[in-house]
Structure 1
């Protein structure tokens, strides 16, 4: 292992360590935003849901072009502009006092994330040899979850649910991250990838190409419902626990649930992925959504802290099954000459993250936080709409691969 670590590029280490501290400060501030808006600013759950959702919406609209932009003007310029812009966003959060300001700043938050993160992953790929890429991306994913283990607990101690002070800390951390990146780019400028002369991806052509694929289209629709269910954890559940008087300290409980979620990812990721690779390509996604739907139902009917924590573990298993196997599925069903188009288009399933806070806010406004089943049962049923689409895709993919295998046999015989 030491030999492999020695071959990791210094810029890659900067991104991995920067990701650790970035997720640490982000998770000690952003997850508490919905609680702050309702409890301190007096926003309704629906208003809060819309304000939280706008970040994901901005990300969906920009992410399709994010990789293209960095190909044309260079990774360095895109990453430096977006990381310092992200720092300004966190300073904006720290000074915001009105709901419309939070709406505007969270829109910019989504834009910065949608540009910086894909570009940083592309740079990792550029500067890492093929035989070390799996290690580097696993280290980055571990850094994300390690940051989220401690971030919410620190945020709770700093009063993130009642103050915007943690956003100020996040802004300073991102300035430091940007300065270190600038220094590393200067030192290692000779090894930076050259700019591309690629043509801009056309949204209409991408949608037309993937829309004609009878396997991909139901996968896109089905995973949108899966992500919609996943999106309730940071938004709807946070507000529900903070507003529900059945829990002595809902904010603290939510903090521990966030940390448990991250710890569980670190513990179960490897064994789950190793086992799930033996399944048919769509089965991990179907099983993952079963876990997420079941956990949403349990969130609504559980009044016991122990059972709620057990539900978080179930939810996290579903999360790992869903997100770690999705790229492998897309790689399998995409036509070789259109893989970039398929990977770009599947990002539109993040519309689920846009809809989740809004739907959750509407349910909380209508039924109140004291009526958990009325809030979470409909949300679970909406998420369950993924199943017919994923099952349809499973049947079509199985038929396609059988037909392809039969055609190869015929050619070999001839």
Structure 2
């Protein structure tokens, strides 16, 4: 096999389990994005909440998912990936089912929290599964990038299906999403149980895993991992403002057909990644992961400046900012996963990838921070402050080089 990472022959050589997981990721994330980008709109229309209230609800739900992932990641090291993957998909399915019948904000909160916990369960275990089943470093890197690619293909199709089916009639969409999650989880669980793992795989139960608190202490003292996690968390805060705060800003700008506009921007984001991800990464593959991260962060910074000074009615500027943000995103987030994979002890892969889901705390803070800024200060200062966070992450990357 050639030394190039992004080749068709290397992709075809990936294990069957990984191919099934990638296909399932495409389907589940497509159904997920039929719903999630429009939750802020549904909460605003049904309950007339303020931006701060909506942001708080979404933030609390995301925090629940992030914190639970630390423990569930350790559980996957102890009891196996396939069981935790099934738990994640089942919880997501039940939560979306509950959302289809929720008419009270408390039920909405419980359901959204369940979706967040299920998503984190599934993400950390699928990334750990890649490390379990693939021994070659370059092939693992390719699989992690392919998984991110599948997520964004789903993100491109999901909002369009959501608009086509109509978010007003939410029950059919939520029920369809629940069915897709449940079927995928059951099929992957069955396949993983039947497929014999490689000798080095940790998909089987570890007889004497480190205790949970011992594992947490080990990760905290791992300085490279800690700096990566903090950087990823801040980058998530910056990027999540696109999914949450930008949606609230546009919703309150009295723009005609705002749902269609949001769907177009989300689709532009995903399509940019679909078109540009592998050509751009193929160009950058000769550079270190640190250099890739710096390039991606600079692109994200430029995008925040454009959002700060683009009028809400000027679609072309919003679209340009979205494209630049997407180019930065396609480099930054999968590269963080690659770097974590490279420094993770094989016996603690589930725990490390579970802990990386703490980056979702950045996602949790984004709607709360953005809601407060929109209610009390304004969108321009908001996006300028996010550009400042990009500079801070670049500084943290400099510290990593000195470690």
Q: TM-score range by the shorter chain?
A: 0.7 to 0.9
For residue 243 of structure 2, give the secondary structure of its aligned residue in structure 1.
coil
Q: CA–CA distance in 2 between the matches of 1:388 and 1:310?
A: 26
Indicate which of 206, 229, 236 corresponds to 2:218.
206
SS of the residue corresponding to residue 242 of structure 2 reads coil
> What are the residue-to-residue correspondences of 1:234-313 with 2, within 5 Å?
234-245=243-254, 247-279=255-287, 281-303=289-311, 304-313=314-323
C-alpha spacing 1:64/1:151, structure 2 compared with 1 (3 Å): same
| Aligned counterpart, 1:326 | 336
- Which residue pairs with 1:364 in the alignment? 374
Q: Which runs of 5 or more structure 2 residues have no equivalent in the other structure?
A: 1-6
Aligned to 2:83, what secondary structure does the other structure show?
helix
1:229 shift after superposition: 0.6
Matches of 2:27 and 2:135, distance apart in 1: 25
Change (3 A) 1:138 1:51: same
| 1:352 equivalent among 330, 338, 362 | 362
Mark the CA change 1:309 to 1:392 in structure 2 (over 3 Å): closer, same or farther. Answer: same
Root-mean-square deviation (CA, aligned residues, Å) is 3.1
Tell me if 1:149 matches 2:149.
no
Confirm or deny: 8 A CA contact 2:120 2:357 kept in the other structure.
no
Q: Can you list the C-alpha shifts for 1:315-373, whole angstroms capped at 9, x where unaligned?
A: 011112211322444566x5979985766655433321121111001112224xxx542
- Counterpart in the other structure of 1:412: none
SS at match of 1:385: helix
The whole-number CA distance in structure 1 between the counterparts of 2:231 and 2:308 is 23
**The residue matched to 1:61 in structure 2 has which SS?**
helix
- Of structures 1 and 2, the one scoring higher in RCO (CA 8 A, sep 6+) is 2
SS of alignment partner, residue 195 of structure 1: coil
- Structure-2 separation of matches of 1:167 and 1:324: 28
1:143-181 per-position Cα deviation (integer Å, ceiling 9, x unaligned):
222211111111112222673542121012222223433
- The alignment of Structure 1 onto Structure 2 pairs a total of residues equal to 387
Paired position in structure 2 for 1:61: 67
Answer whether contact 1:64 1:347 (CA < 8 A) is retained: yes
Corresponding residue of 1:408 = none
Normalised TM-score (structure 1): 0.82
Q: Would the aligned equivalents of 2:15 and 2:134 in 1 still touch at CA under 8 Å?
A: yes
Name stretches of at least 5 consecutive residues in structure 1 with no aligned partner: 398-414
* Deviation at residue 57 of structure 1 after TM alignment: 1.2
**CA 218–102 in structure 1, closer or farther in 2 if over 3 Å, else same:** same
Rate the CA distance shift 1:335–1:29 in 2: closer, same or farther, 3 A: closer
Please state whether the residue corresponding to 1:14 is helix, strand or coil.
Answer: helix
Whole-angstrom CA distance in 1 between matches of 2:31 and 2:394: 36
The structure with the larger Rg is: 1
CA distance 1:346–1:156, change in 2 (3 Å): same
1:122, distance to aligned residue in structure 2 (A):
3.2
Q: Which residue of 1 aligns with 2:86?
A: 80
Residue 191 of structure 2, aligned match among 176, 184, 189: 184
- State whether residues 74 and 354 of structure 2, in contact with CA within 8 Å, keep that contact through their aligned partners in structure 1: no
Deviation at residue 33 of structure 1 after TM alignment: 0.7
